[in-house]
């Protein structure tokens, strides 16, 4: 093949010289803290996040006290928080995190299906609530929605209506 017809990136070299600027979209990195006491769930989150390489898990913790400490230290963009954490439950951890890292978006990932628990969790200022039974179908959507600053609740939660202003009752 003569040098003038060498193919670069699927186009003949001659076409590469056309004076066109290609727009390259660079997605911002989203730094994620995962607070979950079960290693297998943390592993699943990492696996699901592989399809979104801009979502980088920067830290994993297994209790609520450590979640608060790491949130204060790292100021992640997003925190995935289990409710049933040892040492400090996820709801209390979220309240404390709000004080130290108010710009972090919080999405709960829990086995709890009670509308009252969901209300209390979102009352901390969290933007999302995903039931663990809905993780594969809802987690990525919940994260995307929360990153836009909008609320998300798993469809399997019965009897819960999203408030008009998420986190309106959240302590600052």
Residue pLDDT, tens place only, 120-169? 999 999 999 999 999 888 989 999 999 999 999 998 886 666 655 444 44
To the nearest whole number, what is the mean pLDDT of the chain? 82
**Domains of the chain (ranges plus CATH)?**
29-153 (3.40.50.2300)
Cα torsion through 111, 53, 142, 106, rounded to 10 = 70
Is the pTM of the predicted complex or chain greater than 0.75?
yes
9 vs 110, residue with greater confidence: 110
């Amino acid at each position: 093949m003569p040098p003038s017809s060498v193919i670069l990136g699927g186009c003949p070299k001659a076409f590469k010289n056309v004076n066109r600027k290609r727009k390259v979209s660079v997605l911002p990195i989203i730094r994620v803290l995962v607070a979950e006491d079960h290693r297998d769930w943390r592993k699943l989150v990492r696996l699901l996040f592989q399809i979104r390489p801009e979502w980088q898990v920067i830290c994993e913790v297994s209790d609520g006290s450590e979640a608060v400490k790491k949130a204060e230290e790292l100021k992640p963009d997003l925190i995935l928080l289990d409710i049933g954490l040892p040492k400090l439950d996820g709801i209390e951890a979220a309240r404390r995190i709000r004080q130290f890292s108010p710009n972090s978006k919080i999405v709960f990932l829990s086995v709890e299906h009670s509308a009252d628990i969901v209300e209390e969790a979102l009352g901390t200022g969290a933007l999302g609530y995903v039931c663990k039974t809905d993780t594969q179908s809802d987690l990525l959507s919940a994260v995307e929605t929360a990153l836009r600053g909008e609320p998300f609740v798993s469809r399997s939660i019965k009897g819960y209506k999203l408030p008009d202003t998420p986190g309106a009752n959240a302590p600052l």
